[in-house]
Amino acid sequence: MIRFLAKRLGQAIVVILLVTVIVFLLLHSVPGGPARGILGPQASPQAIAAFNHEHGFDKSLVQQYWAFLSRLLHGDLGDSYTLNQSVGSLIGQRLPKTLVLTGLSTLVALVIAIPLGVWQGRRRRGLTDYTVTTLVFVGYATPVFFLALILVIVFTEKIPILPPQAPQAQTLGALFADSRALILPVLAGAIATVAAFSRYMRSAVLDNLAEDYVRTARAKGASERRVVWLHIMRNSLTPIIAMLGYYLPVLFSGALVIESVFNYPGMGLLFWNAAQTSDYPILLGTVLVIALATVIGSLLADIVQALVDPRVRGSIR
């Protein structure tokens, strides 16, 4: 287990390094650089030169990358060009909000998707089956921004029971105090992911149904209910856990759309605004945080997987 952990950790570090290289090079290969946009057309050539010097754009790409990396190793993500704050403190303010939003919607999605997937895995073709499957597909097939629009029209205009905007509070406590305003954004996020999760669950259940241990359990006279909910579901959770780790960037992209539709100042909106203003430090910072979260997520997923599923445990070398 310790060898396995060490190996996975080493891999994770390599992946993160690779990410910094790719992201940094891509961003800095954009011709022109951000100075004119940041300073405005009025800026004199001297001002642009000063900006480029201050932010190291006059150095070679390798030198720039090295400077970036060494700052990064000291935990410094740099300062935003436009928002008067360090990238670290901006992420500190925005990340918890996004975590609340995506955490809640993922939770809701899982609560719906896991039983649904089990049920679908054992389905019989029939009207109910087709209806449910169709509904799940429709949820999956609706672009989040369209879904959000429909939710807003239905629940704030046709049946005005919910506010059209996510809570605007600064602190997490106040965020939850305004929990009614969280319903629509969480729902929009959950609907889109239910289909993806239940699809994984279903195929995992199908795989497990064919396994020997199910037959054994049945032969031993375990009740059908026990077989399904205890054995099959437990083992079918593995792919879901594995997927969650890798699903973070997707969740983030979804969060970006939801945050902008419901005007919720989280990481997604921060990233999007930075993209509009060519605020490179913020772009680099947010992408790195997400990459780090993904890598840690998949690492944790591997470990949890090993704990949950005896078969995987055996395969860890």
Partner 1 sequence: MTVSAPLMTEQAPATTAAGPYRRMVRMFLANRLAVTGLVILGLLLVFCFIGPLIHHTDQVHTQLADATLSPGTRGHLLGTDDVGRDVLGRLMVGGQTSLEIGIAAGLLATLIGTVWGAISGYAGGWIDAVMMRVVDAGIAIPALFLLLVTATILRPTVPVQILIIGCVSWLVPARLVRAEALSLRSRDYVQAMKAMGGGHGRAVFRHVIPNAIGTVVVNATFQVADAILLIAYVSFLGLGVAPPKTDWGGMLSKGISYTSEGYWWLIFPAGLAIVLVVCAFNCIGDGLRDAFEVRLQGR
Partner 2 sequence: MRRRSPSFPATARTPLAVLGVAATLLVAGCSSGSGQGGSSATGGTPQQGGSVTFALPPNATPNWIFPLGTPGHLAGYNSAIRQNVFLPLYAYNGSSGTVAMDEKAGAAKAPVYSNGGKTVTITLKDGLTWANGQKVTTRDVEFWFNLAKANKAQWGNYSKGDLPDNVAKFTTVNDTTFKLDLTKAYNPEWFTANQLTYVTPMPQSAWDVEDASGKVGDYDRTTDGAKKVFKYLIGEAGKLSEYASNPLWKVADGPFTVKEFTTTGQVTLAKNAKYTGDDAAHLDAVTFKPFTSAQAEFNVLRSGGVDYGYLPALAVSQQKTIENSGYQVKPWNGWAITYIPYNFNNPEMGAVFKQLYIRQAVQMSIDQATISRVIWHDQAAPGYGPVPQQPVSKYLSQDQKNNPYPYDVNKAKALLTSHGWTIAGNIASCTKPGTGADQCGAGIKAGTQLKFSLLTESGSTETDNTMQELQSSLSKIGIALSIKSEPLNSVLDHSPECKPNQSTCSWQLSFFGTQGSWYFPAYPSGEQIFATDGGTNLGSYSDPTADKLVKESTSSSDPQAMQQYSSYLAKQLPVIWMPNPAYQVSAIRNNLRGVVQDPLAFMQPQRWYLAK
Q: Which stretches of the chain bind partner 2, using CB under 8 A?
A: 30-47, 50-51, 81-85, 145, 148-149, 152, 164-165, 168, 256-257, 260-261, 263, 265, 269, 272-273, 275-278
- Residue 210 binds partner 1 (CB under 8 A): yes
Give the one entry of partner 1, partner 2, none that residue 82 binds, where binding means its C-beta sits below a cut-off of 5 to 8 angstroms depending on kind. partner 2
Give the one entry of partner 2, partner 1, none that residue 81 binds, where binding means its C-beta sits below a cut-off of 5 to 8 angstroms depending on kind. partner 2
Region of 54-62, 83-91, 126-134, 163-171 interacting with partner 1 (CB under 8 A): 126-134
Among candidate residues 253, 258, 282, 311, the one with its CA nearest the CA of residue 90: 282
Instruction: Provide the minimum distance between the beta carbon of 29 and partner 1 in the complex, in angstroms, as a whole number.
Output: 8
Decide: 272 and 260 in contact? Cβ < 8 Å: yes
Residue from 186, 298, 306, 309 touching partner 1 (CB under 8 A): that is 298
Give the one entry of partner 2, partner 1, none that residue 73 binds, where binding means its C-beta sits below a cut-off of 5 to 8 angstroms depending on kind. none
Give the one entry of partner 1, partner 2, none that residue 162 binds, where binding means its C-beta sits below a cut-off of 5 to 8 angstroms depending on kind. none
Q: Which residues bind partner 1 (CB under 8 A)?
A: 11, 14-16, 18-19, 22-23, 26-27, 29-31, 122-125, 130, 133-134, 137-138, 140-146, 149, 153, 203, 206, 209-210, 214, 218, 224, 227-228, 246, 249, 252-253, 256-257, 271-272, 275, 283, 287, 290-292, 294-295, 298
